[in-house]
Amino acid sequence: MSDVYVIGIDMIKFGRFPETSVPKLGATAAHLALDDAGLTINDIQALYSGNLGQAGAMVGQRILAEIGQTGIPVVNCANACATGATAFREGWMSIKAGVYDMVLCVGTEQMGKGLLGGGGGGKGIPTEGLLGSSTMPAIFAEAGMEHQRKYGTTFEQFAKVSVKNHHHSTLNPKAMYQIETPLETVMGAEMISYPNTKLMCSVNVDGAAAVVICSEEKARQLGKMDRAVRVKASVLTSDPYQERNLQMPDVNTCTQRAAKAAYEMAGVGPEDIDLVELHDCFATAEILHYGNLGLGKPEDAGRMVDEGETALGGRIPVNVSGGLLSKGHPLGATGIANIYEVSTHLRGEAGERQVEGARFGMTHVIGLGSACAIHVLEKVD
């Protein structure tokens, strides 16, 4: 089986674009990725499209209507916040299987403002605020409190994650925000769901990211190896049965399992990874995943953020893009935008926020309910 290579990748600057449409956002990103690869839609054999909000509305085909209806097969993917990464993985598998040798993967989302989650509806009375909370901030607050219960992690340590990621995004022109948020600002912001304040919740934004991936033979044939990035591992898991996970979604076990499988597939360990883009949908979540991804011991996660180990310039920089907390979190685009960030560092093209000498990078997303996708990427010498 051929290795799979990223040969063109890009994202739009995340923001709020209510005047445009999901297919137009996707088309913009697709053109950016094709331009990065020096190719056209006529070179592409299949499209894997990730979008959550319009999952029933053939977004991939509507993107092709904007950029060229070449008649290629289209697969539309929805997998909560793992949607973009799932579309990427479907494309990766098609090349691994030898069905195609060059495909396009696009992730898009157009979001409103405000709280996600809650659900309910149907018969009877609404149970939000009566039988606890099903909002995303509350669910991830409770997941963070589990870490506090086990390891003593503090509100201040959770808040420091947000200080770090907002700082990182000041170096990323494609992030939604480029604003420093000192610790007292983060801790003093409106409390949404203790211990997550407003500045510890990811930003709902519109966004799109796209990538062209191909086989090794194709990359060599096209002369694209000099900026190519090798996909060393692609893993997708769901959450196995856990004692509480039917009442309290478990984002830990599926991540631990995916990380173990990804390290095995890539033939590397956590000590080999130079940067990580992980699913910081809330500041509490980032802390959980230091341990889950093997970046440190779970009980050391609070200390790692205290001592700057996961900041740019630290032992293992995490979310140097600004993360979902400050770059923004357009659900279906996030999983490909993370791959863009890591690829940009491996290509040595990340400018002011470049992780020097980056050779291996990891991306991680969680779709609540739950899906975990992890990719390990390698610089090509």
Partner 1 sequence: MPLNAEDSETAGLLPVVPFLKIPDEGSPYLEGSRCTQCDTTFLGERSVCAKCGSREGLEPLALANHGELYVYSIVYRSFPGIEVPYVSAIVDLEGGGTVKGNLINIDPDPEKIKMGMPVDVIYEKAPRKDAEGNEYLTYYFQPKS
247 binds partner 1 (CB under 8 A): yes
Q: Tell me whether residue 65 or residue 248 sits nearer to partner 1 (CB atom).
A: 248
How far is residue 51's CA from residue 93's CA, in Å, rounded to a whole number? 19
Q: Is 289 a catalytic residue?
A: no
Among 71, 121, 226, 246, binds partner 1 (CB under 8 A): 246
70 binds partner 1 (CB under 8 A): no
CB of 136 to partner 1, least distance (A): 11
Of 81, 201, 254, 372, which is the active-site residue?
81
Closest to 202 in 3D by CA, of 286, 306, 275, 276 = 286
Number of residues lying near partner 1 (CB under 8 A): 37
How far is residue 216's CA from residue 230's CA, in Å, rounded to a whole number? 9
Whether the CB-CB separation of 80 and 331 falls below 8 Å is answered with yes
162 binds partner 1 (CB under 8 A): no
19 binds partner 1 (CB under 8 A): no
Of 147, 279, 329, 375, which is the active-site residue?
329
Cα separation values, 321 from 246, 315, 348, Å: 33, 16, 14
- For residue 30, how many other CB atoms are within 10 A of its CB? 31
CB of 207 to partner 1, least distance (A): 23
In which order are the strands placed within the sheet that holds 102-109?
A: 74-77, 47-50, 102-109, 207-215, 4-11, 229-238, 371-379, 360-367, 275-277
CB of 209 to partner 1, least distance (A): 29
Q: State whether residue 365 is helix, strand or coil.
A: strand
Pair of tokens at residue 148? 């506090």
Among 71, 113, 121, 149, binds partner 1 (CB under 8 A): 149
156 binds partner 1 (CB under 8 A): no
Pair of tokens at residue 61? 């085909």
Query: What is the contact mask toward partner 1 in residues 214 to 243, using x (rule: CB under 8 A)?
Result: ---------------------------x-x
CB of 107 to partner 1, least distance (A): 28
124 binds partner 1 (CB under 8 A): yes
Q: Tell me whether residue 66 or residue 142 sits nearer to partner 1 (CB atom).
A: 142
Burial class from Cβ neighbours inside 10 Å (0-12, 13-18, 19+) for residue 31 reads middle
381 binds partner 1 (CB under 8 A): no
Among 33, 176, 192, 236, binds partner 1 (CB under 8 A): 192
Polymer length in residues for the chain: 381
Pair of tokens at residue 278? 């992980």
Q: Is 81 a catalytic residue?
A: yes
Q: Tell me whether residue 196 or residue 321 sits nearer to partner 1 (CB atom).
A: 196
How far is residue 192's CA from residue 194's CA, in Å, rounded to a whole number? 6
Query: What is the contact mask toward partner 1 in residues 127 to 146, using x (rule: CB under 8 A)?
Result: xxxxxxx-x-xx--xxx-xx
Cis amide leading into 162 (omega within 30): no
How far is residue 170's CA from residue 51's CA, in Å, rounded to a whole number? 27
User: What's the one-letter identity of residue 324?
Assistant: L
How far is residue 115's CA from residue 106's CA, in Å, rounded to a whole number? 25
Under rule CB under 8 A, which residues in 252-291 are in contact with partner 1?
none
How far is residue 58's CA from residue 75's CA, in Å, rounded to a whole number? 9
Q: Which span sits near partner 1 by CB under 8 A: 26-34, 160-168, 191-199, 360-368?
A: 191-199
Q: Tell me whether residue 133 or residue 370 sits nearer to partner 1 (CB atom).
A: 133
210 binds partner 1 (CB under 8 A): no
Q: What are the residues binding partner 1 (CB under 8 A)?
A: 115, 118, 123-133, 135, 137-138, 141-143, 145-146, 148-149, 155, 190-196, 241, 243-244, 246-248
Active site residues: 81, 329
